[in-house]
Structures are given as structure tokens and as C-alpha cells.
């Protein structure tokens, strides 16, 4: 069945709504997404810095400990705020997951690997404390979009981050990556070379370089019309993981661009592409690690 192509039209409507309401496009998405069905615990400190804060979204219905999704937003390592991603957290919480959205330090305040270390630090806080919010610390799923997917993938694949943060590898059940730049060389790319100038070697900043047989299962979703992060990044990581015998699925989305793969998470825009449905099915199929 051919995929419907509403992305351009809905993106235009969203942009117009943002202009008319004098708010950012992400704020416009939040405005269009139903605000209910979950409880939010906001402004929780996971570290010492002003950017070391996170928000937790959990379904209202009581249940046994739930699988936890820790979502890292993008922004080219230069911008972003957790408050703008209620629509993504709501999408996961609506399907029964305790969902955590952390902030992290950005360039020029820091350079690589500080923001990846922040991601691991946030994950360590979640592992220690999420049971108090109804989540299962042994069932953590990492997710992210763009730069956030890059940091989350490094945490999942480069063992040094979890080891330093004190998080057992077996706690990471899986990874859902949306349009992540997993294989490009950020130390030479014009818009990122200053951010990654502190990398000892290029491979330290490339998640694909850390592909391993015992990596957590991964779902890599990428729009084929993405002009910001080339689809080859997801293809390269898929091939590297498959070559080592790891469990990975690559899902290409025709007629979807870089923001569209993120926007399609929102309940009001799910018809654009099956991002949320595929992510939910993937997480539901993850086996518990012994």
C-alpha cells in the first residue's frame, strides 16, 4: 500500500500556526496534542548543573512497574529544551511507558563528550530512582532524534559511558533511533567540527564504530527525504550491527524529512508515518534480559 503524503501540507499548516500564534513550531505541536492521560513530574535534578534536569511522564492508570523510555531530543548539540517535547513524551506515555525527557549541556558551554556524559548521567539517575515513579529500572529503552539519537546510541554502544555512570548494561533493553547521525565524521564536518574538536579520534564520536554483537536490539527509523542527516547514517549503523550479528531493524520512510520523523510521533500527526506504531511494536517485542 502506498504511503499517504501529507507531510508537506501538515508541516506548512504547523508553520503557519506557529507564526500566527507567535510560538515556536515545537510549541505549536504541543498545542495541537491532547494534554491529558498522564502525570508529569517536572524540573527534577539529575546532576549539579542548570541543564541537568529532567521531566517524567507516567500514565495515570496504576500498574506494576512499567518499561521506561528515556528520550533525548535533537538540536545539533546547540539547542533544545525538554519542555518543548511534551508531544513526544505524551506519545510514549499514552502507550503505557514511563517516559523521561532530560536536558543536557550544549555547545558552546561544553564540547564532546560532555553531552554524551550527561545522557549517561541522566540514565544513571533514572536507573536509581525511576521505581519511585512506577518504572522498572531493569527495563530501560533509549530513544532519540537527530543529535539526541547520536548521544543515546553512543551510550548504548560504547561501554565506557555506562560503566562510568554505574548503569548495568543489561538494564538497557533496546534503542529507538530517529534520523541519527551515526556514522558521519563530526570532527571534520563544517557545522560540527568545533563541537567535536576535543574528540581524541573521529571514531570516538561515531556510534557505528562501536557496533558489537551483544548490542541492545535497535530500531533505526529514517526519512528518505531527510536533507539534514543523510539516510546513509542509519544504513551504515544497520550494516555494522548486522555484520557482527546484532539485532537491528532499519525502517526507511518514503516522503518523510528530518523534522517529519519526529513530528510523526505526536498523536495528532501519526497518520504522516508509522513512527509511533513501529516504535511501540518494537518495544513490546523486546525480551527481558537475564
| The predicted structure's pLDDT at residue 22 | 47
| The predicted structure's pLDDT at residue 2 | 39
* Whether pLDDT at 161 is above 50: yes
Average pLDDT on 184-212 reads: 98
Going by the DSSP 8-state scheme, the letter that residue 106 receives in this structure is: -
Per-residue pLDDT tens digits for 16-46: 445 444 445 666 555 455 566 789 999 999 9
Provide the domain limits for residue 271. 21-284
In a domain, 7, yes or no: no
In a domain, 133, yes or no: yes
* Whether pLDDT at 78 is above 50: yes
The number of domains in the chain is 1
Average pLDDT on 71-90 reads: 96
- Please choose, from the candidates 237, 188, 235, the residue with its C-alpha nearest in 3D space to the C-alpha of residue 216: 237
| The predicted structure's pLDDT at residue 12 | 45
In a domain, 225, yes or no: yes
| The predicted structure's pLDDT at residue 235 | 98
Task: Assign 136 to helix, strand or coil.
Answer: strand
In a domain, 237, yes or no: yes
In a domain, 12, yes or no: no
In a domain, 25, yes or no: yes
Of residues 192 and 290, more confidently modeled? 192
Q: Report the distance separating Cα 67 and Cα 140, nearest Å.
A: 6
Task: Assign 73 to helix, strand or coil.
Answer: coil
Average pLDDT on 194-204 reads: 98
Residue % of the chain over a pLDDT of 90: 81
- Please choose, from the candidates 62, 56, 192, the residue with its C-alpha nearest in 3D space to the C-alpha of residue 125: 56
Angle value at C-alpha 100, between 155 and 147, nearest 5 degrees = 45
Average pLDDT on 178-193 reads: 98
Match 519526529 to its residue by C-alpha cell. 262
Q: Give this prediction's pTM.
A: 0.90
In a domain, 258, yes or no: yes
| The predicted structure's pLDDT at residue 175 | 98
| The predicted structure's pLDDT at residue 134 | 94
In a domain, 289, yes or no: no
CATH code assigned at 200: 3.40.50.1820
Q: Kindly report the number of other CB atoms within 10 A of residue 113's CB atom.
A: 21
Per-residue pLDDT tens digits for 118-147: 999 999 999 999 999 999 999 999 999 999
Amino acid at each position: 500500500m502506498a504511503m499517504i503524503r501529507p507531510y508537506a501540507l501538515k508541516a506548512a499548516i504547523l508553520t503557519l500556526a506557529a507564526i500566527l500564534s507567535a510560538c515556536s513550531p515545537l510549541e505549536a505541536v504541543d498545542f495541537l496534542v491532547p494534554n491529558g492521560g498522564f502525570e508529569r513530574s517536572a524540573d527534577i535534578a539529575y546532576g549539579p548543573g542548570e541543564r541537568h534536569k529532567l521531566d517524567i511522564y507516567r500514565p495515570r492508570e496504576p500498574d506494576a512497574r512499567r518499561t521506561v523510555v528515556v528520550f533525548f531530543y535533537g538540536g545539533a548539540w546547540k539547542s533544545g529544551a525538554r519542555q518543548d517535547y511534551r508531544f513526544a513524551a505524551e506519545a510514549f506515555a499514552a502507550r503505557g511507558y514511563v517516559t523521561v525527557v532530560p536536558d543536557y549541556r550544549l555547545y558552546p558551554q561544553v564540547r564532546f563528550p560532555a553531552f554524551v556524559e550527561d545522557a549517561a548521567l541522566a540514565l544513571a539517575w533514572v536507573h536509581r530512582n525511576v521505581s519511585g515513579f512506577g518504572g522498572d529500572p531493569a527495563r530501560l529503552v533509549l530513544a532519540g532524534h537527530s543529535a539526541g539519537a547520536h548521544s543515546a546510541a553512543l551510550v548504548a554502544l560504547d561501554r565506557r559511558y555506562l560503566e562510568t555512570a554505574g548503569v548495568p548494561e543489561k538494564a538497557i533493553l533496546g534503542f529507538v533511533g530517529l534520523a541519527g547521525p551515526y556514522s558521519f565524521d563530526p570532527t571534520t564536518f563544517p557545522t560540527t567540527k568545533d563541537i567535536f574538536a576535543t574528540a581524541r579520534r573521529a571514531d570516538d564520536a561515531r556510534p557505528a564504530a562501536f557496533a558489537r554483537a551483544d548490542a541492545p536490539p535497535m530500531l533505526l527509523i529514517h526519512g528518505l527525504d531527510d536533507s539534514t542527516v543523510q539516510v546513509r547514517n542509519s544504513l551504515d549503523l544497520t550494516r555494522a550491527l548486522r555484520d557482527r550479528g546484532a539485532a537491528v531493524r532499519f525502517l526507511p520512510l518514503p516522503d518523510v524529512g528530518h523534522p517529519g520523523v519526529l513530528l510523526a510521533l505526536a498523536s495528532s500527526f501519526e497518520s504522516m508515518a508509522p513512527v509511533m506504531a513501529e516504535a511501540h511494536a518494537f518495544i513490546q517485542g523486546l525480551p527481558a534480559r537475564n
